[in-house]
Amino acid sequence: MPEFDSILAPAIEIEPEPVRLALPRFDAALKVSSSIRSPGDKDEVVRAVRSIANEWSVSEPMVAYRLHRIRQVSPAIYRELTSEYAARWNAQKQREKDKAKETEGGPSYYTVRQYKLGNAD
């Protein structure tokens, strides 16, 4: 009876591939952001951020952050944009809360589940 080791194929080591995000390289955004002639001009910055966000299907705050990191957006404009994005997010959450109050029944399944599980301390 042959030994099992001689029947099996030798082990092959497979290296895992590096993890890549499903976004294009950010260098491509520089082409779009090159339309920002003045990093302090809010209208130009907003147009560029919207354009990149729509093209890549990502959030505007993420694009604004990345442009700020590569100094295509001035710190003052970035602060204004982040406060606008935060206000927009808070308003959306409030609308969802108000809509949930209008429906009959109890809280959502996820709220109850969180209550049962406790805080994530």
- 59-94, pLDDT tens digit by residue? 999 989 988 888 888 899 999 999 999 999 999 999
pTM exceeding 0.75: no
Burial zone of 81 (CB within 10 Å; 0-12 exposed, 13-18 middle, 19+ buried): buried
* Residue 64 near residue 98, CB atoms below 8 Å: no
Question: In a structure prediction context, what are the per-residue pLDDT tens digits for the chain, which is 121 residues long?
Answer: 555 555 555 555 656 555 444 555 555 555 655 656 666 778 888 888 898 888 888 999 998 998 888 888 889 999 999 999 999 999 999 998 888 777 777 777 877 787 667 666 5
